[in-house]
């Protein structure tokens, strides 16, 4: 969530937490109520330590999840992405295959339908841990998934679109194919851009597009639409 803050807002956040910590430490550092130069280093040291502890605890993804559930209007400031999402996808692979095989009839039919094949109803689960300083995404394929690849998310970022005001989730992933076919590569990279959809002050969906460089040397790199719905 810290990614959504401007440098000025970040400084204000840290300064506010340090001020709260200083107010807590002050009675213990100066029992008489009169600050002294002798006790100032210890006061600053303890205040800084407490401020870091407060940020670390408040920034944990479980604490963020609890706070945002208790105060759902906070989703207007930054969405709470914590949770598990059922992932469904549709791909242009059928169109790519028709083009590589020279099947003009199938190609024309797919283009008329928008270039995408059928929607895979349940491909896996996106598990997201979203704290103040961290954003981790883990992909868990469904047992019934037809996918032969194993994916790992390498990096992710949450941004707010300056024009629309929508929150957008971006991530880059690496996939490995243990038993590649002739149209496969043993490893490839991909990326996704998902728009955060809220309902009743809670994140319900992540919807957008994805693309990969799978078999790009053969012109078979794929792209499609992804929909992640909160479980």
Mean per-residue pLDDT of the chain: 83
Which residue, among 158, 159, 153, has the nearest Cα to 137 in the 3D structure? 153
Burial of 108 by CB count in 10 Å (0-12 exposed, 13-18 middle, 19+ buried)? exposed
**Distinct helix (H) and strand (E) counts, the chain:** 5, 8
Please say if the pLDDT value at position 224 is more than 60.
yes
Structure tokens that stand for 208 in this block: 């957008």
φ, ψ for residue 27, nearest 5 deg:
-60, -30
Looking at residue 154, what is its pLDDT?
92
pLDDT tens digits, one per residue of 178-202: 776 666 677 889 999 999 998 878 8
Radius of gyration of the chain (CA): 24
Highest mean predicted confidence (pLDDT) among 114-123, 155-164, 180-189 = 155-164
Q: Which CA distances in Å does 154 have to 144, 151, 197?
A: 25, 9, 23
Question: pLDDT tier at 146 (50, 70, 90 boundaries)?
Answer: low
Would you say 174 and 187 are in contact if contact means Cβ atoms under 8 Å apart?
A: yes
Which residue, among 99, 121, 80, 81, has the nearest Cα to 226 in the 3D structure? 121
């Amino acid at each position: 969530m810290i990614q959504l803050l401007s440098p000025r807002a970040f400084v204000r956040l840290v300064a506010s937490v340090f001020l709260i910590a200083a107010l807590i430490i002050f009675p213990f550092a100066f029992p008489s109520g009169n600050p002294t130069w002798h006790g100032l280093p210890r006061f600053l040291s303890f205040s800084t330590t407490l401020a870091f502890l407060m940020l670390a605890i408040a920034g944990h993804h479980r604490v963020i999840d609890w706070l945002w559930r208790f105060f759902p209007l906070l989703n207007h400031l930054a969405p709470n992405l914590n949770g598990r999402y059922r992932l469904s996808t549709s791909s242009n692979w059928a169109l790519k295959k028709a083009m590589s095989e020279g099947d003009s009839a199938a190609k024309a039919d797919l283009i008329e339908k928008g270039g995408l094949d059928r929607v895979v109803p349940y491909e896996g689960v996106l598990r997201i841990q979203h704290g103040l300083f961290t954003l981790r995404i883990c992909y868990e394929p469904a047992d019934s998934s037809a996918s032969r690849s194993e994916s790992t998310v390498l990096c992710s970022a949450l941004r707010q679109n300056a024009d629309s005001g929508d929150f957008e989730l971006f991530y880059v992933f690496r996939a490995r194919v243990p038993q590649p076919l002739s149209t496969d590569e043993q490893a490839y990279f991909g990326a996704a851009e998902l728009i955060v959809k809220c309902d009743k002050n809670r994140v319900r969906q992540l919807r957008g597009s994805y693309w990969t460089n799978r078999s790009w040397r053969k012109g078979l790199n794929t792209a499609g639409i992804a929909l992640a719905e909160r479980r």
